[in-house]
Homo-oligomer: A and B are copies of this chain.
Amino acid sequence: MGSTATVATRILGLDPGLRITGFGLIDQLGSQLRYVASGCIRTADGELPGRLKTLLDGVREVIATWQPDVVAVEKVFVNVNPQSTLLLGQARGAVICGAVSCDLAVSEYTALQVKQSVVGYGKAAKEQVQHMVQRLLALDASPGPDAADALACAICHAHGAHGLGARAGTRRRAGRLLG
C-alpha cells in the first residue's frame, strides 16, 4: 500500500481539559508518521473567563508556532457530575475556538476511536496508549499522559485519513504503518 504523497500533512492533536489541555503535532507523509512536538497548556485557578482565554490563546500560539494543516480533537467524556461536564464543555469550546479562529478544519474523535486506532483496543489503559504512541512515533521516551492522548488523537486522524488503522489489523513498526 504505497503512498504517492510528497508533501507532509501536519496534524495537531488536542486533548481538552480546563486545567490541562494536551497538544501533540505529527507530520504524516503517506503511511509515514513523524513526531514534531508536544506539550500542555495549563491554566491557573481563577475566574472561568480568564482560564478560557488562556486555553484560546494557548491553542492559537501552538498553531502560530507549528503551523498545522488540520486539527483533531478528542471528544470528552460526559461526567457523572453535571457541573464538571459543564466546565469541561466550556474548556473544549475554547480549545476548538482556538483552532477554528485560525481557519483550520477540526475533526472530532471519541476516546474509543482513538484507542482503537492506536492500541487496537477501545478500552486500553492510559499506559498502553502512552506506550504505543512512543512506539509509533519512535520516541526515545514516553510522552506525558496529556501529550500522549493528544498525539494519539493526531495519529487516529492520520490513520483515518490514510485509510489504515488498527481495526484492519495492520502491523506497525515505530513511526510507520506496514500495510
A65 within 8 Å of B by Cβ?
A: no
CB interface residues, A 19-64, toward B, < 8 Å? 47-50, 52-53, 56
- Looking at A47, A91, A96, A97, which has the most chain B CB atoms within 10 Å of its CB? A97
Find out whether the CB atom of A99 lies under 8 angstroms from the CB atom of B56.
no
Total A residues in contact with B, Cβ cutoff 8 Å: 32
Answer yes or no: A106 CB below 8 A from chain B CBs.
yes
**The one of B48, B53, B93 that contacts A91, using a Cβ cutoff of 8 Å:** B93
Contact, CB under 8 Å: B78 / A79 = no
Any B CB within 8 A of the CB of A143: no
A69 beta carbon closer than 8 Å to chain B: no
- CB-CB under 8 A from A78, the residues of chain B are 82-83, 85-86
Docked complex: A75-129 residues within 8 A CB-CB of B: 76, 78-79, 82-83, 85-94, 96-101, 105-106, 108
Closest 3 CB pairs of A and B: A89-B89, A93-B93, A78-B82
6 contacts between A and B (CB under 8 A): A47-B108, A48-B96, A76-B86, A90-B90, A92-B93, A97-B101
